[in-house]
Amino acid sequence: MVVLAADGGIGGLLSGISPDWNVFGAVGTKARIIVGVVMAGAILFLLGSAVVGAVHIRVGNQQHNTMETKKGQTMVASSLLGLFAVASMATLFTIVYGFGI
């Protein structure tokens, strides 16, 4: 076990975790940073929206207001679906590009 880990460093681990740009590898470094920042911003917005939806559910349950609870459930569900879509964008683009070839 020690022999296998002797060569490895944190760089090997991090390069294995970093996303593989596949066919979009020709995109410049600045474009990758911009795409990453936009995706991070969208993820933060959607997480905030899910938290607000959870608050709507909590307030609706406390006040016995079914409309408020339903609004919260819709917000949480749509936020989580949006999070899934944003998180899997790179994979979806690669699959669509692969089908186009």
pTM (global) more than 0.75: no
How confident is the model at residue 39, as a pLDDT?
83
Would you state the structure tokens that stand for residue 91, as one six-digit string? Answer: 């994979």
Q: Which residue has the tokens 């207001």?
A: 65
Q: So what's the pLDDT on residue 18?
A: 54
| Contact in structure between 55 and 5 (CB atoms under 8 Å) | no
Q: How far apart (Å, rounded) are the C-alpha atoms in residues 51 and 101?
A: 41
Which residues constitute the domain of residue 25? 2-100
Structural domain count, the chain: 1
Backbone angles phi, psi at 98, to 5 degrees: -65, -40
Segments of the chain with pLDDT less than 50: 1, 17
**Which CA distances in Å does 87 have to 48, 60, 83?**
16, 30, 6
